[in-house]
Amino acid sequence: MPESKIVMIGVGGTIASIKTSDGLKPGLSVERIVGSIPELRDFDIETVQLMNLDSADMQPEDWMTIAKSCVHYLNDQKVSGIIVLHGTDTMAYSATALSFLIRDQNKPIVFTGAQIPFSSFGTDARNNIVDSIRVIAETDLAETMIVFDSKVLRGCRSIKLREYEFNAFESIDPTPIAEIARRVEIIDDHARKRRNTLAWYDGPLDPNVALIHAFPGLKPELLERLPDFGYRGAVIAAYGAGNLSMRERSLLPVIKKLIRQGFPVVITTQCVFGRSELFLYESGNELIRIGAITGYDMMSEAALIKLMWALGKSDKLSEIRDLMGQNLAGEITYSSSS
């Protein structure tokens, strides 16, 4: 029997759902889930029911609650790691948020869930939970990760690409941290390892950030009105290497106006695999001139949450630009002169 304790935090999702007349709805407790898996009886597991939400209901305020709870347990010497049972729809968002909200992380935080409810025949929940425990028990990793379908993914580089298949999540650009078979095979030799540090909560997040997916026909007035609705910053998922139209319905004049008002605008790419390299094309160079912030190779979702984090620290554009350019948790793996 392991000498250390694993903390399993339940926040809801499909894994905890039961069938109702209105469809699937979170209803199982994490304690009941753990008690129903015989293989877990040899482990010292503390269960915490933090919330029980459909992950579509998860909000930035909930990410902060989860992060604060995780920091508490990370600094408990008896705890070897944390597992968060979470819905799949926004799991990558939550894992990304914790990657920014927790500094000096000293132990693993593993997010996992299921495509089929734990209470249903054929569920993938058991395998994902057992794999998550193996990552904690058999490795010295100390990152915020998603463990799903025998893969270990960096939280801030993960995306849900498939709605129904068990292999719902993929790692974008970098390879997975590890793959799980007879052994947990580490692929990323640069993954962060356990260390003797005191983890601390680095919040808050400012939720007033918009993510705009560029498309032909997008009206510049949409961006212009963002401050009227209380938004304090925006991420624009642009085409290709960070390109936007310079002719009809050009967004550049509005972006320039917003930036002059102290409103940060981050440019990412809407390509699943790619990076924002603003120096390549004319529109990108114009975005540089007017003060837009490059998103490097951050996924748009990661840039969104990181800008929430940066705005929780400062309202000065120069400081926000510096914060966005820091590689906090492996969200930036490539930087260019853009």
| Domains located in the chain, CATH noted | 5-201 (3.40.50.1170), 209-325 (3.40.50.40)
User: Using CA atoms, how far apart are residues 254 and 242, in angstroms rounded to an integer?
Assistant: 16
Return the SS3 of 241: coil
Q: pLDDT tens, 280-304?
A: 888 889 999 999 999 999 999 999 9
| CA atoms within 13 A of residue 227's CA, in its CB half-sphere | 12
pLDDT band (50, 70, 90) for residue 279? confident
Provide the percentage of residues in the chain whose pLDDT is more than 70.
Answer: 98
Q: pLDDT tens, 33-44?
A: 999 999 999 999
Candidate list 14, 268, 269, 294, residue with the active-site label: 14
First to last CA, the chain: 52
pLDDT score at 177: 97
Mean pLDDT over the full length of the chain: 94
Q: Give burial (CB, 10 Å; 0-12/13-18/19+) of 260.
A: exposed
Return the SS3 of 151: strand
Cα dist from 110 to 30, 152, 172, 249, 286, whole Å: 15, 9, 18, 44, 41
Find all residues with CB under 8 Å of 228, minimum gap 6, and list them.
Answer: none
Distance of CA 176 to the CA centre of its chain: 15
Q: pLDDT tens, 63-98?
A: 999 999 999 999 999 999 999 999 999 999 999 999
Cα dist from 19 to 35, 92, 125, 271, whole Å: 20, 25, 16, 37
Find all residues with CB under 8 Å of 109, minimum gap 6, and list them.
Answer: 70, 74, 81, 82, 84, 95, 98, 102, 143, 144, 145, 155
Q: pLDDT tens, 137-163?
A: 999 999 999 999 999 999 999 999 899
| CA atoms within 13 A of residue 250's CA, in its CB half-sphere | 10
pLDDT score at 334: 55
User: Using CA atoms, how far apart are residues 315 and 233, in angstroms rounded to an integer?
Assistant: 10
Q: pLDDT tens, 177-205?
A: 999 999 999 999 899 999 999 999 999 99
User: Using CA atoms, how far apart are residues 101 and 64, in angstroms rounded to an integer?
Assistant: 7
Residue type, position 294, single letter: T
Inform me whether the pLDDT recorded for 338 exceeds 60: no
* Dihedral of alpha carbons 113, 115, 120, 125, sign: negative
pLDDT band (50, 70, 90) for residue 336? very low
pLDDT score at 3: 53
Inform me whether the pLDDT recorded for 1 exceeds 70: no
Q: pLDDT tens, 201-247?
A: 999 999 999 999 999 999 999 999 999 999 999 999 999 888 999 98
Q: pLDDT tens, 249-277?
A: 999 999 999 999 999 999 999 998 888 88
168: tokens are 């719902």
Inform me whether the pLDDT recorded for 309 exceeds 90: yes
User: Using CA atoms, how far apart are residues 306 and 312, in angstroms rounded to an integer?
Assistant: 10
Residue 14 a catalytic site member:
yes
193: tokens are 């390892």
Q: Which residue has the tokens 């057992």?
A: 130
CB-CB neighbours of 268 under 10 Å: 26
